[in-house]
Chain A
Amino acid sequence: MITLIINILILLFAPFLMIGVIKKTKAFWAGRKGVSIFQPMWDFVRLMKKDAVISDTTSWVFRFAPVITFASIIFAALFVPLVSGRSVINIPFAFVIFSYVLGFGKFFSLIAALDTGSSFEGMGASREACFSTIVEPAFFIALASICAVTQNYTFESFRMILKSAGAYGYLIIALAAVTLFIMLLIEGCRVPVDDPTTHLELTMIHEVMILDNSGVDLGLITWGAAIKMLLFEALIANLIIPASLHGWAALAAFLAVIFVLAVIIGTVESSMARFRMTHVFEFIFIMSITALIILALVTYRIYGG
């Protein structure tokens, strides 16, 4: 029960802190003092108090979409294991439901962007939809391979890789972590795929889709996006935290992984610029390649030698 409550608290509040840490890291590398790591939370509170401006062009789709997208992220979060590998709902084939539920949210955020009749938002929607066509197959290949090698179809399989794959397990874990980290950068729209702080609409992906959202809606969208990033970080954390840790040690390890990942994201953002749109695909294909290497390793582990 305590684990459950801690998990829910982490799910709801850690995303803000994670974004805060990313911002702090970027400030550190830029030689600035930077804002407090709690600033994203205050930003959210401020957005919640604001009035909104809504475009004349829009219909109910635009007004409902932020809530539907947020609900889908929260529901998808129930399937993801957080601290000590516990998820609220633990069923076989959870990763299929996880990514399809996120897809449901994405569908509505895409048509909400088209609802504004703006050329910029259509552009962002087109990019986001296009990227996920390459991301999802790689994700499914990686996850199905892990399921195959551990003979377990739930997300718990992440914690059983070492036991069932032996020495290959370390390699599989490392590659799976890279795959999920790239997916995190794409789904979270971070550098080098997208630059959340850019000021030029033409180069944006996710930010440009929500140009017309304001007030409470914008707050929900940013919160939802941060939670989505946390979900992928939680998956990575479950990969690399040893299954033997329990209780407070597991909690500490989990938070440490989240913190380190946030620092890494901040460092990546400080050290490189976003790719040109044509090069983004090459970056995404890295994910397909790592997924295929996982598949090759798993195949060799099961059938080779």
Chain B
Amino acid sequence: MKIYFLSLGILLLGALLSTVVKEHWKFKVCSVFSFVSALMMLVPSLMVLFSGNVLSKTVYMSPLLGDVNFVIDPLSAFFVIVISIMSFLGTVYANGYMKPYLDKGMNISSHCFFLMMLIASMLMVVTVQNALFFLIVWEIMSLSSFFLVIFEGEKKEVISAGIKYLVYMHLSVIFIIAAFVLLNIQSNSLDFGVFASVMQNNPMLINIVFTLAFIGFGIKAGFVPFHNWLPDAHPAAPTHVSGIMSGVMIKTGIYGILRVLMFVGIPTRFISYMVLIIAVVSALYGVLYAITQHDIKRLLAYHSIENIGIIGIGIAVGMLGLSYGNPVVAALGFAGGILHVLNHSIFKELLFFAAGAAYLKSHTRNIEELGGLIKPMPYTALMFIVGSVAICGLPPFNGFISEFLIYSGMIQGVPSSEINLFLTLIFAIAGLAMVGTMAILCFTKASGIMFLGNPRSEHAAEVKGDVGKVMLIPMGILAFLTFFIGVFPQYFIIGVLRPVSEFVTVQGDFMIFNSIIEFTSIISWYFLMFLIITLILFAVRAVMNRKFERHTTWGCGYDRPNNHMQYTASSYANLFISTLKPLFKRVSHIKKPKELFPKEAYYELEIQDIEEAYIVKPLINWDEKFLTKFERIQSGNIQQYILIGLVFLILAIIGMIYFGG
């Protein structure tokens, strides 16, 4: 546990130090300090994961906070590993990504400081077991990421995205506070350990507290319909920040849900079905809207919603398994969900980093303007394709393993005695299958239009050369990890099963876990076989290699193709979008050709988020209408405001005396 505090101290020291050193040293300081702290964090967390012992330390903070428990149990250990490694890779990548900004002479002191604060606060969020202190570090995390998002605050859309993010985060906090207050009233304590004792065997309390906490943490994680901040905040932030936020920070929401689930013990059916339905809807909604997006970072943000949905499906299958008393289903569901947390953080960072590299070179995030980047940027293109295959959940990459565990949990749960469970699971299976194929559609679009074919604009044509090693190496490590986890999943499953065993506590869970490990190692052999088959075929193909000559692409006899004749991202997605018309709000911007000799004309199709268009906007409009009623008491006179405040305070005190007993 000493190592843990030392490592936190190093992060904070790095934060302070990075503000005082010279500009060009700042990110180097960040990387070095986060590297050292990540290495040190690995020691206690790996120890916990392998031995299963819980490390804890109680610190007396202040009369207000009382004793604060810092605990590394297997669940925390798992998240600590994900957070520290992924954040470290993000800070390395930042060295290369921020160089042009540095050369422009931008001040990055505060950026570095908040980056380190974000890492430290995330690490504390997943280890603190005191409700009040948890809220404090949760708030530090939200605020520091807010400052990271508004790095390019001189742009209008960045500021508005940042404020939207801030508002959503505080909505999230309100629900979390409500959940904790309820628990505090029941248990008269702030300690997580005590919470568990009042929650268990109290279904009413479980339903209320879990629903509140799920909404609160779900806003952070990005479940539909609480996702709206994600597609705005990610494109606004610098790429390494989007990578860390999407890969790691939103997972703290998942951590929160899992932690509350741990208080719950055996979940009720109500909350299990609720999580499953919301998760399936999130997964479908995320990928559906990802297909419509042409801003690559927005597209990836929507894919985060999809993957959070997949993680949610895994957790929900685990919950259903627990509430129906089927430990095999529960173990497979939780294992799939928790493994997908790791997997998603890997390939999502990889994709963000590769997309950021393309942005850095081409200065545009609109994939319609890109194309042919594989020629000047071969390594980045390879990384993006690897990430795309992994995020689609295709074997032999890591995304498949976690989705496969979730599938097998669901299929095992299908022959159940309850018709509700049977039908729900069948439709969840179909939903997950549809998510997988839609992800293929989306990522063939993204990688095909961005990196393949011919340049679609000067932005893409002017790209010369790939990004530097400092950006390629983190991507390479991540790409290797996606592949390694895909082919040798059994070693990672062992690490995941330790946190799972905290949820699935039945007689004989040992045997269930062993059979899961055995099954994945069999699959690992088959994937090795797949690799061998592929390599043999490549060898045969190389032997059979005939002469070939180069020519232009076949254009049905037309020999002068130009770059505008290529298929675009809009047209690639159009068949699908027009099939599912009712699910989108389509806004066309048309300028028709006019007069005898028309000069310019254009057609642009914008697809708006229906949740934003039909739920959020009407709510805000209603809110505005309601609040404008109070305009008449806005006199501009400070004395009057103080009077109103006093009256309210007195009313509140009277109310408390009268109703509070």
Chain B residues near A162 (CB, 8 Å)?
Answer: none
Bound-complex Cα distance A89 to B567 (A): 40
Q: Which residues of the partner chain A approach B419 to less than 8 Å between Cβ atoms?
A: 299, 302-303
Q: What's the Cα separation between A50 and B412 when bound, in Å?
A: 50
Q: A101-B395, A122-B566, A137-B431 are in contact. Are A110 and B579 (CB under 8 A)?
A: no
Given contacts A114-B448, A144-B426, contact A59 B375 (CB under 8 A): yes
A56 touches B552 (CB 8 A): yes
A48 surroundings in chain B (CB, below 8 A): 544
Answer whether A117 and B394 are a contact pair too, CB < 8 Å, given A56-B550, A137-B431, A215-B546: no
A100-B436, A141-B430 in contact; A216/B544 too (CB < 8 A)?
yes
Q: Which of B116-124, B437-445, B627-635 contacts A (4 or more CB under 8 A)?
A: B437-445
With an 8 A cutoff between CB atoms, is B374 at the interface? yes
Is A71 among interface residues, defined by CB-CB distance under 8 A?
A: yes
| Interface residue B597 (Cβ < 8 Å from any Cβ of A) | no
Q: Which of A32-40, A123-131, A228-236 contacts B (4 or more CB under 8 A)?
A: A123-131
- Do A119 and B566 touch (CB < 8 A)? yes
Say yes or no for A201: interface residue by CB 8 A criterion: yes
- In the complex formed, the residue of B with least CB distance to A200 is B556
A42 at the interface (CB under 8 A from B): no
Q: Which of B374-419 contact A (CB under 8 A)?
A: 374-375, 378, 381, 385, 388-389, 392-396, 400, 403-404, 407-408, 410-412, 414-415, 419
Identify B437's interface contact among A115, A132, A144, CB under 8 A.
A132
- A210-235 CB mask vs B (1 if < 8 Å, else 0) is 01100110001000000000000000
Q: Which segment, of B31-39, B143-151, B569-577, faces chain A?
A: B569-577
Let me know if B636 is at the binding interface, CB within 8 A: no
What residues on B are CB-neighbors of A119 within 8 Å? 565-567
Binary per-residue interface labels of chain A (133-152) against chain B in the complex, 1 for a CB within 8 Å, 0 otherwise: 10111111100110110010
CB–CB A117/B372 < 8 A:
yes
Q: Which residues from chain A contact B385 at a C-beta distance below 8 Å?
A: 61, 111
- A55–B444 touching, CB < 8 Å: no
Chain A hits for B534, CB < 8 A: 67-68, 71, 75
Give bound CA distance, A139 to B594, whole Å: 50
Within 8 A of B (CB), among A81-104: 89, 91-93, 96-97, 99-101, 103-104
In the complex, the answer to whether B394 meets A104 with C-beta atoms within 8 Å is yes
Q: How far in angstroms is the closest Cβ of chain A from B331?
A: 15
Given A141-B426, A151-B415, A216-B541 in contact, is the A61-B400 Cβ separation under 8 Å?
no
B614 at the binding interface (Cβ < 8 Å): no
B414 touches A71 (CB 8 A): no
Is A106 an interface position by the 8 A CB rule? yes
**In contact, B426 and A145 (Cβ under 8 angstroms):** yes
CB of B208 closer than 8 Å to a CB of A: no
For A97, the chain B residues whose CB sits under 8 A away are 395, 404, 523, 526
B437 and A117: CB pair below 8 A? no
Please tell me the number of chain A residues within 8 Å of chain B, measured between CB atoms.
80
Residues 270-288 of chain A, each 1 if its beta carbon lies under 8 Å from chain B, else 0: 0000000100010000000
Q: Any chain B CB within 8 A of the CB of A9?
A: no
User: How close is A68's CB to chain B, nearest CB, in angstroms?
Assistant: 6
A121 interfacial by beta-carbon distance below 8 Å: yes
Q: Majority SS of interface residues in chain A?
A: helix
Q: Determine whether A244 belongs to the interface, using a CB cutoff of 8 Å to chain B.
A: no
Q: Quick check: A140 and B452 within 8 Å, CB to CB?
A: no
- The residue that B441 contacts in the complex, of A64, A129, A147, A302, with Cβ under 8 A, is A129
| Contact residue among B408, B453, B546 (Cβ-Cβ distance under 8 Å from A92) | B408
Query: Is B533 an interface residue, CB under 8 A from the partner?
Result: yes
A130 pairs with B541, CB closer than 8 A: no
Q: Does B371 contact A (CB under 8 A)?
A: yes
Q: Is A137 touching B433 in the complex (CB atoms < 8 A)?
A: yes
Tell yes or no: B270 within 8 A of A by CB: no
> Is B505 at the interface (CB under 8 A from chain A)?
no
A53 contacts chain B at the CB level, 8 A cutoff: yes
| B603 close to A (CB within 8 Å) | no
Provide the bound-state CA to CA distance between A138 and B448, in Å.
27
Q: Which residues of chain B are within 8 angstroms of A139 by Cβ–Cβ distance?
A: 433
A55 touches B551 (CB 8 A): yes
**With contacts A75-B533, A111-B452, A215-B548 known, is A133 near B437, CB below 8 A?**
yes
A118 within 8 A of B: yes
Beta-carbon contact of B394 and A126 below 8 Å: no
The 7 A-B pairs at the shortest CB distance, nearest first, are namely A122-B567, A114-B448, A117-B453, A52-B548, A137-B430, A140-B433, A71-B534
**B interface residues with partner A (beta carbon < 8 Å):** 371-372, 374-375, 378, 381, 385, 388-389, 392-396, 400, 403-404, 407-408, 410-412, 414-415, 419, 422-423, 425-427, 429-434, 436-438, 440-441, 443-444, 447-449, 452-454, 519, 522-523, 526, 529-530, 533-534, 537-538, 541, 544-556, 561, 563, 565-567, 571-576, 579
8 A–B contacts, CB within 8 A, in A order: A53-B548, A107-B443, A125-B572, A133-B437, A135-B437, A144-B411, A201-B556, A216-B541
In addition to A101-B394, A144-B426, 20 A-B residue pairs with Cβ atoms within 8 Å of each other are A51-B546, A54-B550, A57-B454, A68-B534, A72-B530, A75-B530, A96-B407, A97-B404, A103-B392, A104-B394, A111-B385, A111-B444, A117-B454, A117-B561, A122-B566, A126-B571, A137-B430, A141-B430, A295-B423, A302-B422
User: Which residues does A use to contact B, with CB under 8 Å?
Assistant: 48-59, 61, 64, 67-68, 70-72, 74-75, 78, 89, 91-93, 96-97, 99-101, 103-104, 106-107, 110-111, 113-123, 125-127, 129-130, 132-133, 135-141, 144-145, 147-148, 151, 153, 201, 211-212, 215-216, 220, 277, 281, 295, 299, 302-303
